[in-house]
Amino acid sequence: MDSTAYNYSTGIATNNTGGNSISGASSNNRVILNVGGVRHETYKSTLKKIPATRLSRLTEALANYDPLLNEYFFDRHPAVFAQVLNYYRTGKLHYPVDVCGPLFEEELQFWGLDSNQVRRLYILFVLYGLRGAQLEQNNSVF
């Protein structure tokens, strides 16, 4: 008989074999990502949509996983990460209007996104000089 014990204070479910699974409820596969002090919640399946990236390889064994809070902490730019997570969800990468190109590129590289896509996006903004309202209207390239 299978049994699962759920610790509501930590958000960790323990099955009868002693293994842990990350979840907000025992089987929903939610993941909490604290990026620069901003908490984001998503599903493991969302993070698996783009393979071979930092987010697709999350495990509880990583040093940045806090079992007491049941979250991963990354000391990175939270506004850029919101766009990164949205890219996993929608397949469209948006350029935040309040972030410079080199910082945006550095953050995307940290998360392991395809550098060719990053460079294409950055080159479009440099070549065409999209700024302000134009950028807000045209900030989705992919």
80 closest CA partner among 56, 104, 116, 111: 104
Task: Determine the pLDDT at residue 60.
Answer: 87
107 closest CA partner among 59, 44, 36: 36
SS3 107: helix
Whether the pLDDT of residue 57 is over 70: the answer is: yes
Question: Which domains can be identified in the chain, with CATH numbers?
Answer: 1-75 (3.30.710.10), 76-142 (3.30.710.10)
101 vs 27, residue with greater confidence: 101
Cα–Cα distance measured from residue 40 to residue 42, given in angstroms and rounded to the nearest whole number: 7
Whether the pLDDT of residue 121 is over 50: the answer is: yes
Sequence-distant (≥ 6) Cβ neighbours of residue 71 within 8 angstroms: 32, 33, 34, 39, 65
Task: Determine the pLDDT at residue 102.
Answer: 87
Whether the pLDDT of residue 130 is over 80: the answer is: no
Whether the pLDDT of residue 129 is over 90: the answer is: no
- The region of weakest confidence among 23-37, 54-68, 97-111 is 23-37
Q: The whole model's pTM is what?
A: 0.66
Whether the pLDDT of residue 70 is over 80: the answer is: yes
Q: What is the pLDDT of residues 102-115, one digit of tens each?
A: 898 899 999 999 76
Query: Cα–chain-centroid distance for residue 24?
Result: 17
57 vs 22, residue with greater confidence: 57
Burial label for 24, CB within 10 Å (0-12, 13-18, 19+), is middle
SS3 86: helix
User: Tell me, what DSSP letter sits at residue 55?
Assistant: G
